A and B are shown apart, each in its own frame.
Chain A
Amino acid sequence: MKRLSIPKENQIKASYLIIAIHTMQVGVGIAGYPRLVFMEARQDSWIALILTGMILNIVIACMVFILNTYKTEDLPGVLTQAFGNLFGKLFSHIFVIYFLLLFLSVIVNYIEFVQVFIFPKMSSWFIGLLLLTLVWYAVSGGIRVAVGASLVFFLSAIWMVGLLSKPISMVDSRNYFPIFTTGWDGLFNGVLMSSFTFLGFELLWMIYPFVYDKKKSIDIVS
């Protein structure tokens, strides 16, 4: 069984994990997702969000526990050690297809955003090509460049949190009532919708061997 040995210059600190995973999760999808969750679980959307948070906490705890048991392995390594060579490779192929579909959904989201708000007639392949060349350029520099790019873009987009001040000033707590009256299926549909937005944390499977102070990682990722 091959163990991954990662040279020092490919390693990142644990505190960059929070930025990288945050960047994976907060993409262009957050512009639309409050509305999507509201359509499913009307005034109990906050319950759906809390439920999602708890469920995802459990999932991430499982992930970090598994990754800590197999030291310095990422997802294909864990799978080959657990299931043997053939099935391990098969399952990691499934994960590759999963990541591909995730990437595709992010690109489609970006293209839709540009076409709705900025340039309605710009061809889709062109916007996708622009995004792809940027991504290729960042990733071809290794994981340090990719995490650094996500850090710099996170810092330069953090001012957008201030744009929330206007909607917050219009909060009316009477809209939360009648409380607990949406049925279970509305609530679970809301959990489904919001977990789709929080789905960026699978990056942890791949990045974990690159992190060199692993003790702090579990507080950071949750």
Chain B
Amino acid sequence: MVDKSSSAVIAPTNFFSFFESTEDLYTRWNMGSFIRIMRLIAMFLSITLTPFYVAALTFHYEIIPTALLVSLGHSRSRVPFPPLLEALILEFLIELIREAGARLPTKVGQTMGIVGGIVIGQAVVQAGFTSNILIIIVALSALASFTVPSYLMGSAIRIMRFPLIIMAGMWGFIGIFYSYCFILIHVIKQKSLGRPYLAPLYPMRPRDFDNSVIRIPFLKSNYRASSNMPKNQSVFRSHQKINLQILKTFKMELKYEATINS
């Protein structure tokens, strides 16, 4: 909390805390785990899908199945640009539409979204500017980058897609893997206020997987994350057996248990 500013900064964080949102805690644990894992997969998809298209079309035709190759060739036959340029133009277009739509009042913004998304997309394909498979891919990756609950993480993912597209256009799959490894090593190196950034994954603490990657039922999650070095690591759960001594000192917990059991 900074004086005279309306937002607060929470530190230290780790990478997986950007993928948590509060409604994961309200739904059941399996639903919450599934949604969180889906967000992680959406992040990987969002970064990798367009560069994959660019690299496969520019350098490695062989991995595309034959039926898809026929329709790809048919839609790309009218496009004057190489796949790298085509992908860069479309990504830039989507960023433009999104940024312009953010500043408009609500009703106009919705119309802009529909006009921009559907009409311009259709028109661009029919004019022979890009292929329609690329429209699907770019729209999918833009969508996937919005599943992340934190806006900052989403915009970081969107920005990170551009160097990956350029590397894919220049050096194919090697470029994608190189930049992927570079990003991974950078994330491993990061420290937030001295705590490792990729906390339950790299200094491998299986006990801390609870609130980071998947969710565990409330009855079993009794420990605070040890990467924050808490003073008291166990969270007192009142469903556990209370003996008489604690009963006298912690009367509040008894009330809490009564409300759970009712």
Contacts and interface: CB of A to CB of B under 8 A. Distances in A.
A119 B189 contact: no
Interface in B166-219: 171-174, 178, 181-182, 184-186, 188-189, 196, 198, 201-204
A152 B174 contact: no
A9 B232 CA distance: 23
B202 A114 contact: no
Interface residues of A, number: 20
Interface in A113-137: 114, 118-119, 122, 127, 130, 133-134, 137
A133 B167 CA distance: 15
B186 A130 contact: no
A148 interface: yes
B62 to A, nearest CB: 11
B188 A118 contact: no
Contact of A141 (B59, B174, B189, B203): B189
Contacts of B196: 144
Nearest to B194: A9
B185 A134 contact: yes
Residue among A127, A145, A153 with max Cβ neighbours from chain B (10 Å): A145
A119 B172 contact: yes
A51 interface: no
B201 A152 contact: yes
Contacts of B189: 137, 141, 145
A152 B184 contact: yes
Contacts of A133: 182
Given A134-B182, A151-B202, A152-B202, A145 B173 contact: no
Contact of A114 (B59, B174, B198, B203): B174
Contact of A130 (B174, B185, B198, B203): B174
Contacts of B185: 134, 137-138, 141, 145, 149
Interface in B28-73: 59
12 contacts: A122-B174, A127-B174, A137-B185, A137-B186, A138-B188, A141-B185, A145-B185, A148-B202, A152-B198, A152-B201, A152-B202, A153-B184
